[in-house]
Amino acid sequence: MKNNSWMRLLIVMLAVAMIASACQKPGEGSSEDGKVEFEFWSAPNPTQQAFWSDMAKAYMKENENVKIKVTPMPESPSSEAGIQSAIAAGNAPAISENISRGFAAQLSASSAIVPLEEFDGYDELIKNREMTETMSTWKFADDHQYVLPIYSNAMLFGWRMDILKELGYDEPPKTYSEVLEMGEKLKEKHPDKFLWARADLVKPTWWARWFDFFMMYNAASKGNNFVEGEKFIADDKAGVETLGFMKNLSEKDLLLTREATDPFETGQAVMMDIGPWTFPYWADKFPEMKQGETYELSMPPVPDGVDPENAKTFADTKGLSIYASASKEQQQAAFDFVKWVYSDAENDLTWFEKTNLPPARDDLSTNETFEQYFEENPQLVKYAENIPNAVPPIDSENTVEIQEAIGKDAVNPVIKGQKEPKKAWDDMKKSIDGMLK
């Protein structure tokens, strides 16, 4: 009797589990009447979701055989984790945005996303959107293109020109020695102020390296890649120089490595890494921040002897990827939708207006479509001009480990005065070599 009850219980449990698994969304989206249905995951951001919803509606009006369901991607605990869980559960969409190059490398290594250049109309898309040069830096080590960049923020440094003018400067310093000289003058006049307030400099947070180390390394190395496939190919000289500059800033007490609230806006620090997302915040909270008066934007400083005019920077950029779990029909339909969106520069303008994120186009600063918008938002001009000078994140499936090692073995100990730049660089290189093998 007792055994029978347990058996029954087990059968009930199994039946429930089977029903639960049967309730999963079917992966196929094409129906017998020739209609194609697919899901598009937008970034978990209302403005981006609104843009893609409007685009999908407009596209569906013109293409009645296509049904696009735009939903924001799950962001708990992070959008990457949400995508991973969906892939694992078989619930991945056909296409999603918000994919960084590093994450794409992880996804492509697991065959979770498909190469875009194999779709019909790929060349046409790249040509129509004027993004040949931008795409060249996006090629992955296996020669495929897994992500179509939507926007590209060429990360810049902001400078408090009102304070710099007090020190006798009319423009931001461009080289390491100019920055250090300016820093010394700053400390003489304002001992309580700092050059750069950045708590992340003493934390191993992997993504923080995009906005400190990579901005400066890209400038010092003229955009030399960091890793390629399984090889560490970074420019040793530029790397050591970057760390040496950080060491000098730290030794001269020019860095504030503590959490601080709006240090740049309050004038506690005179330099800050800035992306275009800062401007809406300033408009709301710090309307007194005016370009040319309180602040100016510049490319990252370069080592002495390197031409500042050729400086490169880090590109905070994300794009679209198409998932391998979708049917071939859904994949092509998703690609056709993207091709349609980017066939008209007006759509990029709408995106720009809604999100403030510069579309990843080579011609952004020269295309007439965007002229008026730049006149109204001159602070975005430098971002547009430097899109071709911005280097996207590394395309390694070990991105997180590599960037963690840059922090733990190099940046953090150098800033804390625990290691010399050369030793820190060598230690970091050894760690990364170990990961890539």
Q: Does 58 bind other proteins (CB under 8 A)?
A: no
Task: Kindly state the tokens that stand for 4.
Answer: 């029978």
Amino acid at 349: L
Q: Does 96 bind other proteins (CB under 8 A)?
A: no
Cβ-in-10-Å burial (0-12, 13-18, 19+) of 353 comes to middle
Which CA distances in Å does 35 have to 25, 54, 60, 112, 314?
17, 20, 11, 25, 42
Among 50, 202, 349, 381, binds other proteins (CB under 8 A): 202
Cα 365 to chain centroid, rounded: 20
Q: Identify whether the C-beta of residue 323 lies closer than 8 Å to the C-beta of residue 93.
A: yes
Comparison of 9 and 233: residue with beta carbon closer to other proteins = 9
Q: Which residues pair with 323 in a beta bridge?
A: 113
Q: Does 400 bind other proteins (CB under 8 A)?
A: yes
Q: Which residues contact 367 (CB under 8 A, 6 or more apart)?
A: 130, 345, 361
Q: Does 77 bind other proteins (CB under 8 A)?
A: yes
Comparison of 43 and 256: residue with beta carbon closer to other proteins = 256
Comparison of 330 and 403: residue with beta carbon closer to other proteins = 403
Binding-site residue total for other proteins (CB under 8 A)?
40
Q: What is the DSSP code string of 198-220?
A: -GGGGS--GGGGGGTHHHHHHHH
- What string marks each residue from 133 to 152 as x (binds other proteins by CB under 8 A) or -? --------------------
Among 117, 181, 401, 420, binds other proteins (CB under 8 A): 401
CA distance 131 to 127: 7
In the window 270-289, what residues touch other proteins (CB under 8 A)?
A: none
Q: Identify whether the C-beta of residue 274 lies closer than 8 Å to the C-beta of residue 386.
A: no
Task: Kindly state the tokens that stand for 214.
Answer: 């990579």
Comparison of 220 and 256: residue with beta carbon closer to other proteins = 256
Q: Does 204 bind other proteins (CB under 8 A)?
A: yes
Q: How far is the CB of 328 from other proteins (least distance, A)?
A: 17
Q: Does 87 bind other proteins (CB under 8 A)?
A: yes
Alpha-helical (H) ranges within 229-344 are 236-251, 278-285, 328-341
Comparison of 267 and 308: residue with beta carbon closer to other proteins = 267
Comparison of 24 and 110: residue with beta carbon closer to other proteins = 110
* Residue among 435, 355, 437 nearest 402 (CA): 435
CA distance 79 to 92: 12
In the window 287-346, what residues touch other proteins (CB under 8 A)?
A: none
Comparison of 127 and 416: residue with beta carbon closer to other proteins = 416
Comparison of 88 and 233: residue with beta carbon closer to other proteins = 88
Task: Kindly state the tokens that stand for 237.
Answer: 């000289």
Q: Does 78 bind other proteins (CB under 8 A)?
A: yes
Comparison of 123 and 251: residue with beta carbon closer to other proteins = 251
Q: Does 107 bind other proteins (CB under 8 A)?
A: yes
In the window 226-265, what residues touch other proteins (CB under 8 A)?
A: 256-261, 263
Among 224, 268, 327, 343, binds other proteins (CB under 8 A): 268
Q: Identify whether the C-beta of residue 176 lies closer than 8 Å to the C-beta of residue 304.
A: yes
Amino acid at 26: P
Sites of contact with other proteins (CB under 8 A) = 5, 8-9, 12-13, 16-17, 20, 77-78, 80-81, 84-85, 87-88, 106-107, 109-112, 197, 202-206, 256-261, 263, 266, 268, 397, 400-401
